[in-house]
Amino acid sequence: MDEALIIIGVDGSPTAARAVQWAADNAPLLNARVIVAYAFEPPVPLLPTTVSALPAPFDGTWQHEVRTALETEWCAPLRDADVKYDARIVAGDPATALIDCAREEGATLIVVGRRGRNPLTELALGSVSHRLCRHAPCPVLVVPAPAQ
């Protein structure tokens, strides 16, 4: 059986952690390797500027913190399950970045967590999962939020 590829979108949220856990539990059964992707959308300055003039969250120093979280905390279930994975930080809005990654890598499946912050939003998909379901080049699995 050929090796499958699962793309997981993460952002440090509990629902993203559930998506990673789903992959840790199921990737071995699917003979799959995993790409864990954290997408960010840098601000577009109104005037020409240097990196040092960008707001602190986007000046580059945050990348070390995100990389550390990816490698130590967010990917821990995959590491513990001995799943082959690659952690990436990608620029762009999350839906577009995950769709592009899935196309470029030939993904078999995209897995994301679903937001559910209140009874009204629990009835609908979030904007990222909605866009993925409509435009992804492969199936999308939206892992539900933990029961409240």
Q: How far apart are CA 8 and CA 120, in angstroms?
A: 25
Cβ atoms within 10 Å of 134's Cβ, excluding its own: 11
For 88-103, what is the mean pLDDT? 92
pLDDT band at residue 121 using 50, 70 and 90 as cut-offs: very low
The domain 4-33+61-143 having CATH identifier 3.40.109.10: the answer here is no
pLDDT band at residue 148 using 50, 70 and 90 as cut-offs: low
Please compute, for residue 69, the number of CA atoms within 13 A of its CA located in the half-sphere on the CB side.
14
Q: Can you read off the two tokens belonging to residue 138?
A: 């492969």
Bridge-partner residues for 46, per DSSP? none
**What is the enclosing helix (H) or strand (E) of 143?**
strand 140-143
Residue 94 CB partners (closer than 8 Å, separation 6+): 9, 11, 39, 41, 128
Q: Can you read off the two tokens belonging to residue 89?
A: 């930080």
Q: What is the pLDDT of residue 122?
A: 46
Residue 57 CB partners (closer than 8 Å, separation 6+): none
The answer to whether 2 and 53 are in contact (CB under 8 A) is no
Q: What is the pLDDT of residue 118?
A: 45
Q: What is the pLDDT of residue 62?
A: 73
More confident residue, 58 or 140: 140
Q: How far apart are CA 118 and CA 134, in angstroms?
A: 24
Q: What is the pLDDT of residue 119?
A: 47
More confident residue, 145 or 26: 26
pLDDT digits (tens, 9 = 90+) for 12-71: 989 999 999 999 999 999 999 999 999 987 665 555 544 444 455 555 677 778 888 898
Bridge-partner residues for 33, per DSSP? 5
Q: How far apart are CA 38 and CA 92, in angstroms?
A: 10
To the nearest whole number, what is the mean pLDDT of the chain? Answer: 83
Q: Is the pLDDT of residue 125 over 50?
A: yes
pTM higher than 0.95 for the full model?
no
Q: What is the pLDDT of residue 63?
A: 78
